[in-house]
């Protein structure tokens, strides 16, 4: 729902990094987006094309790695992936496991640039 803003802050991150590194062109941007972030992949891809036009990342491919929700279950002492729609319940023992391990990511991971 806030894909345009996320695309713009992503672009800001890319431009800041590229300038500091003397990078003139970016061909691919790799990001990691968590399942809880409320970001719709297709909307983000569309927003990225619009946001990155006429920048050093114009025409670049946005590669989105979607990260599933996982929680830490204290009873099982392990990381678990709750059944979607069950909240934060451990799928093994059924107890609430409110410690979120992954699923909140909004990370700019890496850039692909011409040599």
Residues that bind another protein (CB under 8 A): 1-2, 4-6, 9-10, 13-14, 17, 21, 23, 27-28, 30, 36-38, 69, 85-89, 96, 98, 100, 104, 106-115
Q: Which is nearer to another protein, 56 or 96 (CB)?
A: 96
Closest separation in Å from C-beta 98 to another protein = 6
- Angstrom distances, CA of residue 94 to CA of 37, 81, 98: 24, 12, 12
CA 86/CA 71 separation, integer angstroms: 12
- Angstrom distances, CA of residue 36 to CA of 16, 60, 64, 101: 26, 26, 14, 11
Q: Which is nearer to another protein, 14 or 80 (CB)?
A: 14
Q: Which is nearer to another protein, 77 or 115 (CB)?
A: 115
């Amino acid at each position: 729902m806030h894909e345009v803003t996320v695309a713009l802050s992503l672009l800001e991150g890319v431009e800041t990094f590229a300038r500091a590194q003397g990078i003139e062109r970016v061909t691919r941007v790799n990001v990691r987006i968590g399942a809880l972030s409320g970001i719709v992949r297709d909307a983000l891809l569309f927003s990225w094309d619009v946001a990155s036009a006429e920048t050093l990342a114009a025409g670049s491919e946005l590669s989105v790695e979607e990260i599933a929700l996982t929680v830490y279950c204290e009873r099982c002492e392990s990381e678990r992936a709750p059944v979607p729609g069950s909240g934060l319940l451990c799928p093994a023992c059924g107890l609430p496991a409110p410690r979120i391990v992954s699923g909140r990511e909004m990370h700019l991971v890496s850039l692909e640039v011409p040599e």
